Structure 1
Amino acid sequence: MTKPYFSPPWWAKNPHVQTILPVLTKVDRPPLSRQRLELEDGDFIDLDWLSQPKTGAPIVVLVHGLEGSSDSHYARRLLQDLAQQQISAVVHHHRSCSGESNRLARSYHSGDTQDLHACLAMLKQQHPGSALLAVGYSLGGNVLTKYLGERGETALVDRAVVVSAPLHLAACATRLKKGFSKVYQSHLIKQLQQKVRDKLNNPQLAALMPVSSDEVAQLSTFHLFDDKITAPLHGFNGVEDYYHRASGLPFLSQITRPCLVLHAKDDPFMNDEVIPANSQIATAVTYELHNNGGHVGFIDGGTPFRPRYYLEKRIVSFLIHSDKSPC
């Protein structure tokens, strides 16, 4: 098969235009219905359904990125496209990302595959004849990669697409300390800090949190936040242990389900350490590295006021049409 071709228009060659413009030009989101999944540890995650599947029809499972949701620009666009094609889809929200704080001190992280498995197992139980087709974006893409590699032949996903995943977490944390990328880090860290403050204001959870209110503002980088918050809350021995054990890159070689991985060389969240060597890629994995695209961007036309995207065409072609060219 000829590798699908992506080329940005002249006005969207800059990686920050590719990354930021999609946020500023969100499309309308189709109506969604919510389902709550109670977890074994007493917590919950919320699932937002585009539509329930007809008997035997596939379900596309969207796994959002850091602090994303069904309202994220990429989720809106894919849901809109799937609605037009009458394809069932559901958004898997990470804990605390559906608009309501989760019940426990812990939250979610880049290597948390247990919640995803619980979601997929529930979908399989309720819709046993439906193939599960998953797409993971950014952090959600790392989670999906790790899940597929961990589970191998027992993975409950039939086909998958991974978009702009930070497969080498330590390298990505370092990249986000530099240049304009610090703007993205600051934006996301502020959201994470607020969620920590909310839990510190809950008397039942405050005693379980590993930092005090005075310390939260000092956690201004992902490296500091993950060392003081993410690692201790989720059973890791410090930030380096977390980054090593949660990174998806080592799991690429263990994937047995058909999986498309999309990266852009100019992604401002990453550097070359995220790019796998050929020896690290399983035969079931199709790896596409594009020169441009930014972070979860891949604008290929339209206008700055109404961009057109390569991303959704490529996702649907791989998941639904078994890799027929979208072009």
Structure 2
Amino acid sequence: MPILNATYKPSIFFRNGNIATIYSGLIRKVKLEQKRERITLNDGDFLDLDWSYAKEKSEKLIIVLHGLEGNAQRPYVTGPAKLFNENGVDAVCVNFRGCSGEPNLKYRSYHSGATEDLHEVVTHILETKNYSEIYINGFSLGGNISLKYLGEERIIPKQIKGAIAISVPCFLEGSANELHKIKNKPYAIRFKKHLVDKLKPKLIQFPERITAQEVDSIKLLRDFDAVYTSKAHGFKDAKDYYTKSSCLQFLPNIQVPTLIINALNDSFLSPECYPIKEAKNNENLHLEMPDFGGHVGFIHKGKYYYNELRALEFVAKL
């Protein structure tokens, strides 16, 4: 599809990518009543799904996927859920393994390419609910999972009518390199600390799988992927994980209408994360690249963000 012209123009203050990113992550608040459902996965682990509903019974559902070290209560997740609820669409916000406030049961957890868990969520919904229209809205890591899921060699259920992916690191190695630059050092340190803190209990759960020395060797964010992510999830090393999990290679295969919004001032994204060629060659891909927005920071007038309003608008036209 032709590249879409972005109309997003925030106030001057929020045109700074770092300010938009930090404000959206630490300051924004969204109140949403959710009801939790725990599902058991095929390998015996669990996922917690947080549901919210439209006022009237709906046959439409949006599945919302959070980013690295996020959860289903983050404002960038509850924001679109609430907006869609107000417009007659139910929402289920997925907590990835170990992200719902309770350690998961397995040594493995979640990662950027873990589409098997999304597949199980979709299967569970189709088997237990009665939705005729399902949409997927993924953010950052969750956006990569969404796009990879839609482009892999599997039969996508007919109920899935479209997807929206926001601030997506389509090329994981490039994004990892960006996160290790000086400009992103505070973010990298914060991510690494949360990941390592969550890994430490596994020293007790699985002493045969990982040692304290290995955990102590994690000095950089990419070290975490080398020591844990790659080994826990069947990859040779961090580079193999990045290569096989990046959604970029799967974009040509997507066959449902999909909107990607990646801001040009997103400091987490490398040039390869803007899939212009792929969008031009796939009629189902709609790529929007606003000048502003930072990383998941599309602050807008009113209580809803630009990306949330665009997601609703995109779905309404399908």
Return the TM-score normalized by structure 1: 0.90
Counterpart in the other structure of 1:170: 173
2:230–2:241: 8 Å Cα contact kept in structure 1? yes
Partner of 1:194: 197
C-alpha distance after superposition, 1:227-267 (max 9, x if no partner): 11100100001111111100000111110001001101111
SS at the partner of 2:295? coil
| CA deviation vs aligned residue, 1:164-183 (integer Å, no higher than 9, x gap) | 01111101111011123111
Deviates more, 1:72-81 or 1:109-118: 72-81
Name the structure 2 match of 1:95: 97
Q: CA deviation at 1:28?
A: 3.1
| Deviation by residue 1:162-210 (Cα, 9 ceiling, x = unmatched) | 00011111011110111231111111111110111011123xx22123x
C-alpha displacement of 1:291: 1.4
1:310 to 301, 306, 312: 306
Residue type of the alignment partner of 2:250: F
Determine helix, strand or coil for the equivalent of 1:30: coil
**Cα 1:208–1:61, aligned 2, differ >3 Å: closer, same or farther?**
same
Between the two proteins, what is the percent identity of the paired residues? 33
**Correspondence for 1:247:** 246
Residues 219 and 25 of structure 1: is their aligned pair in 2 closer, same or farther, counting only changes over 3 Å?
same
d(CA) in 1 for partners of 2:131, 2:89: 15
Equivalent position of 1:8 in the other structure: 10
Tell me the secondary structure at the aligned position of residue 299 of structure 1.
coil
| Partner SS for 2:200 | helix
Letter in 2 for 1:179: I
Task: Report what 1:284 is aligned to.
Answer: 284
The answer (yes or no) to whether the contact 1:149–1:254 under 8 Å persists in 2 is yes
Instruction: Map 1:146-157 to 2 at 5 A.
Output: 146-151=148-153, 154-155=156-157, 157=160
Question: 2:52 maps to what in 1?
Answer: 50
Give the partner amino acid of 1:253: P
User: Which amino acid letter does the alignment assign opposite residue 19 of structure 1?
Assistant: T
Task: Rate the CA distance shift 1:73–1:52 in 2: closer, same or farther, 3 A.
Answer: closer
Q: Secondary structure at the match of 2:22?
A: helix
Deviation at 1:56, TM superposition (A): 5.9
Contact preservation (8 Å) 2:58, 2:88:
no
Structure with bigger RCO (C-alpha 8 Å, 6+ apart): 2
Question: Does the alignment pair 1:232 with 2:235?
Answer: no
Is the CA contact 1:159–1:257 (under 8 Å) kept in the aligned structure 2? yes
TM-score, reference length from structure 2: 0.92
1:185 and 2:188 aligned: yes
**1:298 alignment partner in structure 2:** 298
Give the counterpart letter for 2:209 in structure 1.
L
For 2:146, which of 134, 144, 147 is the aligned residue?
Answer: 144
Q: How does 1:19-34 map to 2 (within 5 A)?
A: 19-34=21-36
What are the within-5 Å matches in structure 2 for residues 124-143 of structure 1?
A: 124-143=126-145
Q: Could you list the runs of 5+ residues in structure 1 that have no partner in the other structure? A: none
Shift of 1:221: 2.2
Worse-matched range after superposition: 89-98 or 219-228: 219-228
User: Equivalent residue of 2:214, what SS?
Assistant: helix
In the alignment, which of 43, 48, 53 is matched to residue 41 of structure 1?
Answer: 43
Kept in 2: contact 1:48–1:91 (CA 8 A): yes
Indicate the larger mover: 160-169 or 179-188. 179-188
Deviation at 1:130, TM superposition (A): 2.5
> CA separation in 2, counterparts of 1:71 and 1:142?
20
Equivalent in the alignment of 2:208? 207
After TM superposition, give the deviation of residue 53 of structure 1 in Å.
9.2
User: Which residue type is aligned with residue 298 of structure 1?
Assistant: F
Cα distance 1:54–1:113, how it changes in 2: closer, same or farther (>3 A)? Answer: farther
Q: Is the 8 A contact 1:265 1:290 kept in 2?
A: yes
Provide the residue aligned with 1:75 in structure 2.
77
> What's the CA shift for 1:55?
6.1
Deviations 1:283-302 (A, max 9, x none): 10101111111000112346
